[in-house]
Amino acid sequence: MHNQRFFSYLSLFTFFMLILVSGSNYLVMFVGWEGIGIVSFLLISFWYTRISAVKAATQALIMNRVGDMLLSIGFFAMIALFGSLDYATVFSLSPYINETYITIIGLLIFAGATAKSAQIPLHVWLPASMEGLKILNKFLILLIFIYNVKNLSSFNINLYLSILPIISSIPKSTLQTITGNMLGDGSISRKNYNSAGIFAMTMDAYSINYLEYLNKHIYSNFTTINIYPYPNVLLPQHKGKKITQYKMQSKTHPLFTALHDLWYKWDNETNKFIKIIPLDISEMFSEISLAYWIMDDGYFDSYGRTKTVLLCTESFSKEDCITLQNLLLNKLNIKSTLKIRDKNNNRYRIRISKTSMEIVISLVKPYMHNDFLYKLGI
C-alpha cells in the first residue's frame, strides 16, 4: 500500500518536471512548477500521522504560494507589455521595451523562482522538507554507491527503493534499538521471498521484564506481540514444569519484511536464509544499538585476564565480525579484538578492549535495563 502510493507520487512528480522543462512558454512552465509543488506537498507529508511531516509540508506549501504570487504578478506584467507569454515572443521584443519595466519583471520572476526552488534567502523550507526521508536519505545513497564491488552483482536497487519508505517511517531511536536486537537475539523469519516477515526473540526466563519492556515500548507499536513461556506450562503435558525461556513473537508486518531483506540472504548450500550484516549498518547503529546488543548477546568475562565485555557473534562470518569491529571503532571509538570460538567452523566473538571499557560504560549505561547492568561488570 505504502509502496504504491510512494511511487505514484514519485511518477507524478517526474511527469510535472517534464512539463516544466519541455514547455515553450511561461504558462506551461508555471503549470509544471505548480504540479511539482503540489506533489512535493504530498511527498513531504507522506507519513501524515507524524506532526513534524505535516508541519514541514505546510511550510513548503506556504513558501511555494509566495513564489506563485511573485511569478503571477510578473506574468501579468509580461502579458501587459508583450501581449504573450511565449519565450520566442518575449525574448525577441525585450530589446525594444523600456529597461525599467524589463528589470521589474525580471526581479519578480527571479524572486518567485527563488522561493519555489529554495534558493537563499528563501530556502528555509528545504531542510524541513527532508522529513519524509530524514532517517534514510543518506543511507540509501550509501547503500547504492559505497557497497562493496564484490557484492554489486547481487545488489538489487529496486529492492532498496521499495523498502526505503517503510524503514524511514519509524523513529531513528526505534530503528537503532531494533538494530541492536538484530545483532543480538532478534531474528526475522520468512518462508520465502513472497511471504511476510515475523520478528522473534528467545531469551532466558530471567529476561521476562526486558522482553515485556521491548514489547511495550518498541514492537507493539507495529503489530500484535505475544510472549510465550517455554516449556508452555499452560499445556497439560508441561504442567508443573519450570519455565526456562520466554519467546517474544510478532504477527507479520511490512517493517519486518523490509528488515529481513536487509539482514538476510539466501544461502544455496544450506538452502535457507542466513543472517548477514546490512550494507551500511553505520546509518542504523549508535550507542543505543550497542546497549541492546550487549543486553541480548553480550557478557562480562570476569574470569579472564582482561575482565571486559564479549559479544557473541558466532552467527556471523569472520568478514562480518571484522565489519562490526570497524563499526565500533569508527562510530563509537571502541577498540576490540576477535576471539576464536570455533576454529573448525571459523566462528568468532568480539572482545572489547579493556582500554575502551570506560567508553562503553559511559555510552550504554543510560540505555541498559537494570536487570542487565551486570553485563557491564557493574
For position 342, which CATH number holds? Answer: 3.10.28.10
The CA distance from 210 to 221, in Å, is 16
The CA distance from 372 to 376, in Å, is 8
Per-residue model confidence as pLDDT tens digits over 335-362:
999 998 887 778 899 999 999 999 999 9
Mean pLDDT of the chain: 83
The CA distance from 242 to 218, in Å, is 28
Q: What is the pLDDT of residue 135?
A: 43
Identify any residues that bridge with 248 across adjacent strands, giving them in sequence order. 201, 227
Name which of 66-70, 75-79, 132-136 the model is least confident about.
132-136
Q: What is the pLDDT of residue 352?
A: 95
Q: Check whether 110 has a pLDDT greater than 90.
A: no
Share of the chain above pLDDT 70, in %: 84
Domain ends where: 90, 106, 133? 133
Query: Is 138 domain-assigned?
Result: no
Question: Three cell numbers at 254?
Answer: 511490512
Share of the chain above pLDDT 90, in %: 35
Nearest Cα residue to 327 out of 191, 177, 179: 179
Query: Is 245 domain-assigned?
Result: no
Helix %, strand %, coil % of the chain (to 5): 60, 15, 25
Per-residue model confidence as pLDDT tens digits over 237-250:
878 889 999 999 99
Non-local CB neighbours of 281 within 8 Å, separated by 6+ positions: 179, 323, 324, 327
Question: What is the pTM assigned to this prediction?
Answer: 0.61
Give the pLDDT band (50/70/90) at residue 257.
confident
Question: Three cell numbers at 256?
Answer: 519486518
Burial zone of 159 (CB within 10 Å; 0-12 exposed, 13-18 middle, 19+ buried) = middle
Query: Is 9 domain-assigned?
Result: yes
Query: Is 187 domain-assigned?
Result: no
Domain ends where: 114, 133, 152? 133
Name which of 131-140, 185-194, 367-376 the model is least confident about.
131-140
Query: Is 33 domain-assigned?
Result: yes
Domain ends where: 113, 133, 153? 133
Query: Is 363 domain-assigned?
Result: yes
Domain assignment of residue 317, given as a range: 286-378
Query: Is 22 domain-assigned?
Result: yes
b/e per residue 69-106 (b: at least 16 CB within 10 A): ebbebbbebbeebbeebbeeebeeeeeeeeeeebeebe
Per the structure, the count of domains in the chain is: 2
Per-residue model confidence as pLDDT tens digits over 198-209:
999 999 999 999
Question: Three cell numbers at 136?
Answer: 534514510
Nearest Cα residue to 179 out of 273, 259, 97: 259
Query: Is 347 domain-assigned?
Result: yes
Per-residue model confidence as pLDDT tens digits over 126-176:
766 665 554 444 444 444 443 433 344 444 555 555 566 666 678 889 999
Task: Extract the runs of DSSP E, i.e. beta strands, from the chain.
Answer: 186-189, 198-204, 225-230, 245-250, 264-267, 272-275, 298-300, 309-311, 336-342, 347-352
